[in-house]
Chains A and B, each alone.
Chain A
Amino acid sequence: MASHGGLAAAATTPRPVEQPGPATRLTTGWQESGQPASLRAHVDRYGPLPHPRAGRARAGRPGPGTQGALIDAVTQAGLTGRGGAGFPTGVKMRAVASRRGPAVVVANGMESEPASEKDKALLSRAPHLVLDGAALAAAAVGADVVHVCVPRTRDWLIAIMRNAVAERERANLDQVRMQVHDLPHHYVSSEESAVVHWLNGGLAKPTAVPPRPFEKGVAQRPTLLDNVETLAHVGLIARFGPGWFRQAGLADAPGTMLSTIAGAVSSPGVYEVEVGTPIGDMLAVSGAHPDVSAVLIGGYFGTWHDFRDVARLPMAAAPLRGIGASPGAGVLFALPPDACGLAETTRVLGWLAGQGAGQCGPCVFGLPAIADDFAQLASGRPKGPVLDRLERRLATIPGRGACRHPDGAVRLARSALSAFAADVRTHASHRLCQSARGGQPRAAVLPIPRPWAEDVWQ
């Protein structure tokens, strides 16, 4: 591990590395360069990687000097997964570390959520922060390989990650082998069992679980699969400690998070905010239109809300749970005041219906059915009792697929019926809301990805 010293000495201006401030942790230096940080720039910015320890953590015997130390630090930091599910990262690491046999780490940079750009931004600006976290996590759970997974549609990003891995190999930085993979880019292909299935030589489609990856994942080995932003936070917790991590965010939801803010805002983009920043403040920082009436929280598996109901609510799991929302992968989308929320939701539902893996009946038949109900509603020409039909379908579809794809689509549909309740009544009675009527048909606002090789799952 002489390379650590070598790297520090090679840095042009050796200087004590300052702890990153409360809300510019992952995004330090992004503004200045706009380029991926080289290994040298990265080490200048954050300091060298703390030495990963050899050997495996033993259940019940973690402590300073063993590699249980990182798992303890991550647990004390209170880091939760930033990919959408929000599961405590320390618990997941411990679950993998306690299994028998060598483990595997997967850095999930698949980011299939069309409204999210944060993983793309993170990997393209600070690839080594993610790889640091992956290498340290690998040492902590007893893994000898890290699989970095990025979408095949983003070839430039694959090149950045391969280049970053090559830089680390030249510096002899890691004890763990790192491989960059390009996976098919479907909405469900970012789901953990789909990623594992693909890495095992199968299709990038979710599989029926259990076993879950931490039990039996890649190559039948216990597998720690984390979102790339989660791993970047691990890399910083290893350097600066759980106390530092907790200086930002809420006591029960500490740290910072990357958030993609778009829609009716003057400066759309990826922002790093403290977890628990009020949603109204986040939108204000991004220059929200003063008349924003509705906001989509979490992404296309997320929920619509009247902006006045959520402006003061903290962007964090517990406070949002009360209104049936979740930060998800950190997406906030402000609906322009002249857009029709039902028409927008219809487009997203239609896209989601086509994005399933085509494996489970409730999803294959149910999602097109509710997308069609919404299309009838949005057009103001519903056939039959569309709201009764929707209610029945929305009640029976969730929880019956191999993955959460149908559940997410149903959650979005439900929230639209409630957030746009007045428009729903207007449309259901064969009329159109003001925005849907307003002379010119309004341009669609929510991004729908261009179709990508629909039948390619290998």
Chain B
Amino acid sequence: MRRHLAVNPIACTGHGLCADMLPELIHLDEWGYPIMIDRDVPAELSPLARRAVRLCPTLALRLEATTAERKAVPR
């Protein structure tokens, strides 16, 4: 199953651990909040991504299943 990274922006308080662990996928803005360079997690980064999710102090970082269904719902 393909997975992608997602941040709950309400929970995130800008600790920045995710960008330390996954600099390939996540940068920080000037205030220390994550910017996703690429949401899709390549297989080789999958273990690191899982670790980043586990270590996020506010549980704001998630790995979600990438499904086509999500894109077709009313926004």
Using a CB–CB cutoff of 8 Å, the interface residues on chain A facing chain B are: 85, 87, 91-92, 95, 207-208, 210, 212, 214-215, 359-362, 365-366, 369, 393, 396-397, 400-402
Contacts and interface: CB of A to CB of B under 8 A. Distances in A.
Nearest to B60: A208
The interface residues of chain A, by DSSP majority, are classed as loop
A212 B33 CA distance: 25
Interface in B10-61: 10-14, 29-33, 35
A208 B31 CA distance: 21
Contact of B74 (A91, A208, A361, A366): A91
Given A361-B14, A366-B31, A400-B33, A212 B9 contact: no
A362 B10 contact: no
Nearest to B13: A361
B33 A361 contact: yes
Contacts of A214: 73-74
A359 B74 contact: no
A8 B9 CA distance: 53
B41 to A, nearest CB: 18
Contact of A359 (B7, B9, B33): B9
Contact of A362 (B29, B70, B74): B29
A172 B10 CA distance: 44
Categorize the interface residue count of chain B: 10 to 19
Given A361-B33, A366-B31, A210 B70 contact: yes
Contacts of B29: 361-362, 366, 396-397
10 contacts: A91-B74, A92-B74, A95-B73, A207-B10, A212-B73, A214-B74, A361-B9, A361-B13, A362-B29, A396-B35
A362 B33 CA distance: 7
A176 B12 CA distance: 41
Contacts of A210: 70, 73
Interface of B: 7-14, 29-33, 35, 70, 73-75
B10 A95 contact: no
A225 to B, nearest CB: 10
Contacts of A365: 31, 33
A208 B35 contact: no
A361 B32 contact: yes
Given A361-B14, A396-B35, A400-B35, A208 B75 contact: no
B12 A212 contact: no
Contacts of A396: 29, 35
Contacts of B74: 87, 91-92, 95, 212, 214
A85 B35 CA distance: 25
A362 B74 CA distance: 24
Contacts of A400: 7, 9, 33, 35
A342 B7 CA distance: 34
Contacts of A92: 74
Contacts of B31: 361-362, 365-366
A397 B35 CA distance: 9
Contacts of B10: 207-208, 359-360, 402
Nearest to B29: A396
Nearest to A397: B29
A458 B24 CA distance: 41
A173 B33 CA distance: 53
B27 to A, nearest CB: 9
Contacts of A401: 9
Q: Which of B13, B14, B29 has the most A CB atoms < 10 Å from its CB?
A: B29
Residue of B13, B70, B73 most packed against chain A (CB within 10 A): B73
A208 B73 contact: no
Contact of B9 (A91, A393, A402): A402
B13 to A, nearest CB: 7
A212 B70 CA distance: 11
Given A92-B74, A207-B10, A212-B74, 17 more contacts: A87-B75, A91-B74, A208-B8, A212-B75, A359-B9, A360-B9, A361-B14, A361-B31, A361-B33, A362-B9, A366-B29, A369-B30, A393-B30, A397-B29, A400-B35, A401-B9, A402-B10
